[in-house]
Structure 1
Amino acid sequence: MAETLPGKFRDRTEYTYAQVEGALCAWEWMIHNADRAPLKGWFETIGSSGMRMVSMQVRDICNRVYKHMEANGYEFEQAYDWTFVPGVIGYVDWDLLIDDNQYNGAPYDPDIHAIFTAMVAADKALRAPGDRYFNRVVTEAGKVVTMGCQKNAPHHVVKITVTVTVAASSAPVAGHAVGQELIEAIRRRKPSLLCGAQFELCSFEKPAVAA
């Protein structure tokens, strides 16, 4: 179940550092789109001071979607500020949001799961599997234990060795598949750094069996 928003957001009096930073991400996007519908009309109606308060609630919605994404075993491999936040904002009902935030209307509590699934569906429709922004996190089958990086002169080839741990019952072929999936996740996460890198699956480790 997605987290629900307790009470009215504007009545909160304490915010974490991450919440403040996230609000600035939302505010930055809103400023860049202040001359476009539907924001243009609202900036003219309630001004920058009102829209700054709205940006804090927008950030809260973005954070709830992000946490819901993580709880469902996904990670987002693009910029949070310029990609994830605008993606969520595209599903915000600005009339209901501002009525809540500025005019004491009913609490605006969007369907977080519906926003998340819509973003994932749009990502799948627009991008090939290797280029998608949303990707499942490998948690049950294996994880990176060590990742060594060595730059070999004079060819300047980055050689990365990956050691993974797999379930004690896993066959070698299963461990190899997990390793390959992890390597692809690493490539997606740091494409510029790892361009031309050579990967080597050096070993697999299985949990020790208690005597």
Structure 2
Amino acid sequence: MLELIDIKKRYGSKEVLHGISIKFENGIYGLIGPNGSGKSTIMNIMSDVLDMSSGKILYNGTDIKELDDRYREKIGFLPQNVGYYPNFTAKKTIEYFGYLRGVNKKELDSNVEQVLRDVNLYENRNDKVKSFSGGMKQRLGIAITCVANPEIIIFDEPTVGLDPEERARFKNLIRKLSKTKTIVLSTHILSDVEEVADYIILIKEGCLTKFEKIGGKDNE
């Protein structure tokens, strides 16, 4: 279980997150809110990419600052902008990121093949990234996020650039993954949230204004 406790973030004298507290278990959490509400800040803090100003995050009861790299090994994070090596093939790109994530060689080959199939890029595995469309790059990013089989997966606008068929494929993928993983999904496409999320998290002006199980039952 992942628990955010009274998370605050300040830039100078301006506080952009005002004491966010949320408990996450296995399932899909739809993170929604207006632009500038603090969604990306929360995701970056959860991913240990950005330091919080105060508060703490517990993973299975232990402060993530104590866990350090052991926590980051549990995280898969897809930000809005991912940098790629344009002359790498899709397969080599995923292998490279898997290697950086510490996936051993025995598992890496099978993991790479599996995520390529999951995002419908297996037939393009030997094509260079520079030949990919925006939607294909987005699918490649999803594959990279999942290659190390993380326990917590955080997606920031993952369906941008995907056509309806690929959006449906992505929804099916995260439904399958959510049986054993915590998935946080931020998107402006509310229909995506409504179709797949188990919980809705609404952030406005850096405040948690709703945390609700789909169907109206509050998640206490």
Q: Same fold (TM over 0.5)?
A: no
Higher relative CO (Cα under 8 Å, sequence separation at least 6) belongs to 2
Alignment TM class, shorter chain as reference: under 0.3
Kindly name which structure, 1 or 2, has the bigger radius of gyration based on alpha carbons.
1
* Structure with greater strand percent: 2
* Structure with greater helix percent: 1
TM value normalised by structure 2: 0.22
